[in-house]
Amino acid sequence: MAPGCEVLGRVRTGLARLEGSRWGLGSQIMWKTDCPASSHLVDSCLPQSLVQPAATKLVLLVLDGLGGLPREPGGPTELEAAETPNLDRLAAEGQVGLSQPVGLGITPGSGPGHLALFGYDPVASNIGRGALSALGLGLRLEAGDLGVRLNFCTLDDQGVVVDRRAGRIDTQINQALVARLNGIEVPGVELAFATESQHRAVLIMRGAYLSPAVQETDPQAVGVPPLEPEPLTATAQHTSAVLRLVTEAVRDCIGGESPANFVLMRGYAGLPELESLNSLYGLQAVCLATYPMYKGLARVAGMAVVDGLHSVDNQMTTLATVWDEHDYFFIHHKAPDARGEDGGFDAKAAAIEEMDRRVPDLMALGPDVLAVTGDHSTPSTLRQHSWHPVPCLFRAGSVLPDTVESFGERACGQGSLGVFPAQSIMPLMLAHGGRLQKFGA
């Protein structure tokens, strides 16, 4: 039994803990009998305590934002409309259901959506905005670092916020301002400013004793001055003092500019220190993703990350080259989510088809276990993430196929997996991979 499991029966101490930079999965564990639906999901500690080695290859294929809605009443969803002969065959040969990333009615961001798929509790391991923005830019966050989401803003002569987004300045202006801000030095802490886009930027702070428990300076309104980065707990006094120095330096540095003459800070967050998939399950996990955000999330789970991938072709070609070195493969396909957010029904269907065409390449490698799903739904009619559960299929030698013959929302709603927690995908993959011993005698 791994060390984390000794804490069964201890309870999580709550949000305050989520804000600390030094929490781990173990401290969130308690007896599952306090909860109404214990039949579906077991804590990562139970599978973890049962891990046994096996020479099996597990593949998690994520079609980001996979789930959708009909464009017109009675019509098909994007996935149902897409020509997906390969995924349909896998669904017919395998078992399907609808995976629920966080809970009924809850729309997940990319962070909770993926961490659930990797087997982590998506709420306990939620990543704050500053840290996630840093991941999205491909910036590395280490334990103890603090990410801060910045908006360039406009202050008037009295120091009052007149535009919280500085007129949505061009990204090029943002970059020029960030270059100057990167000259700021504050003793005892390393600072790195980075451009996101338009008025959006990120600050990464590295140093000892940094705490996210500081008041956000964005007043969320115009006509008032920015708030002060007051400490919200006694242990955040150092961070508060650092941030005051930073804001003064920002004022000195760009205070004479127009319209972007200050920054508003929010979403202070470090990365959660999650136990790695290797430590939890003995997996040699690798990520094949094209976007920085998902590579960052994979790093949070301790995966190796292949850099330099730009297309599904890249991903599939590379998969073959890293096949022997790893045993858990996270393949991330961004396009369905991006097209869904654009409101492109047909484009989303096409993005799904693009991956379907490469499924035979994947199957040719002979994965022992394949799970195909999304991190959340992104219906093109809604143009945003949604709360709808996500089609999911399992293909493995030990799967009991159900009666479903195709891969789609309604078909998966008839699958024998039912509606189930996305967090259970990992233990199911491990089980089908022969990587979990019996529990109890």
Closer residue to its own copies (CB): 316 or 352? 352
Beta strand pairing status for 262-269 and 161-163? unpaired
What angle in degrees, to the nearest 10, is found between the helix axes of 292-300 and 110-117? 50
Interface with its own copies, residue 101, by CB under 8 A: yes
Q: Kindly indicate which of the ranges 108-116, 161-169, 195-203, 328-336 contains the residues binding its own copies, using the contact rule CB under 8 A.
A: 108-116
SS3 string, 247-293, reads: HHHHHHHHCCCCCCCEEEEEEEECCCCCCCHHHHHCCCEEEECCCHH
Closer residue to its own copies (CB): 221 or 400? 400
Interface with its own copies, residue 437, by CB under 8 A: yes
| 3-class SS of residue 147 | strand
- Give the contact letters, 110-129, x = binds to its own copies (CB under 8 A), - = no: xxxx--x----xxxx-xxxx
Among 20, 25, 50, 60, binds its own copies (CB under 8 A): 50
Beta partners for residue 150, in sequence order? 201, 265
Task: Report the site for its own copies in 370-409 (rule: CB under 8 A).
Answer: 379, 381-382, 384-388, 398, 400-403, 409
Cis peptide preceding 292, ω within 30 of 0: no
d(CA 126, CA 128): 7
Least Cβ distance, residue 188 to its own copies (angstroms): 28
Closer residue to its own copies (CB): 10 or 180? 10
| 3-class SS of residue 242 | helix
Pick the closest to residue 416 from 104, 117, 113, 92 (CA basis): 92
Least Cβ distance, residue 148 to its own copies (angstroms): 13
d(CA 375, CA 66): 8
Beta strand pairing status for 304-305 and 190-197? unpaired
Interface with its own copies, residue 37, by CB under 8 A: yes
Among 86, 133, 239, 247, binds its own copies (CB under 8 A): 133
Interface with its own copies, residue 288, by CB under 8 A: no
Beta partners for residue 377, in sequence order? 66, 386
Among 61, 69, 265, 352, binds its own copies (CB under 8 A): 69
Among 3, 22, 35, 197, binds its own copies (CB under 8 A): 35
- Give the contact letters, 1-20, x = binds to its own copies (CB under 8 A), - = no: ----x--xxxxxxxxxx---
* Cα 36 from chain centroid (whole Å): 26
Among 106, 222, 224, 320, binds its own copies (CB under 8 A): 106
Interface with its own copies, residue 213, by CB under 8 A: no
Q: What is the dihedral of CA 79, 82, 85, 89, to 10 degrees?
A: 10
Least Cβ distance, residue 249 to its own copies (angstroms): 27
Task: Report the site for its own copies in 322-381 (rule: CB under 8 A).
Answer: 379, 381
d(CA 140, CA 271): 10
Among 55, 72, 105, 187, binds its own copies (CB under 8 A): 105
Question: Judged by CB under 8 A, how many residues of this single chain contact its own copies?
Answer: 102
Pick the closest to residue 134 from 293, 9, 365 (CA basis): 293
Task: Report the site for its own copies in 250-269 (rule: CB under 8 A).
Answer: 267
